[in-house]
């Protein structure tokens, strides 16, 4: 894209709040990443290193949402399943603002088995 196109795009972002959302998303990404790394803790296990690097190198909130499965598995190995489930539940408030609106509506009877909601 030429310089005019970039300037136009940047201006539209400024007018419609794209930059503010980008900053908010970057802050949310950092907060979620920090919380996940705190849950993982510091271990000498090479499997933990793999999960650590996955969390550190993930570039978006959706990627961190899917990295929860690896974090859950690692927390189960380090502690137990109940502890791991509680830890991941504690992350839900950080992810919730980034879930699509359709996923935030209460589900009808018999639809609660789909409780995992990926962010957008």
Could you tell me the pTM of the whole model? 0.65
> CB neighbours of 112 closer than 8 A, spacing ≥ 6?
none
CA distance 12 to 66: 31
Q: pLDDT band for position 44 (50/70/90)?
A: confident
pLDDT in tens, 63-104: 999 999 999 999 999 899 999 999 999 999 999 988 765 455
Question: Could you tell me if 65 and 120 are in contact, meaning their C-beta atoms sit under 8 angstroms apart?
Answer: no
pLDDT in tens, 17-29: 444 456 778 899 9
In 3D space, the residue among 81, 36, 79, 77 whose CA is nearest the CA of residue 54 turns out to be 36
């Amino acid at each position: 894209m030429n310089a005019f196109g970039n300037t136009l795009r940047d201006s539209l972002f400024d007018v419609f709040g794209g930059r503010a959302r980008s900053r908010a998303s970057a802050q949310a990404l950092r907060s979620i990443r920090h919380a996940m790394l705190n849950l993982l803790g510091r271990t000498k296990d090479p499997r933990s290193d793999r999960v650590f690097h996955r969390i550190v190198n993930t570039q978006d909130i959706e990627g961190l949402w899917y990295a929860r499965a690896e974090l859950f598995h690692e927390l189960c190995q380090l502690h137990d399943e109940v502890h791991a489930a509680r830890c991941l539940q504690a992350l839900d408030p950080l992810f919730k603002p980034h879930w699509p609106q359709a996923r935030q509506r209460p589900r009808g009877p018999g639809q609660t088995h789909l409780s995992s909601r990926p962010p957008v």
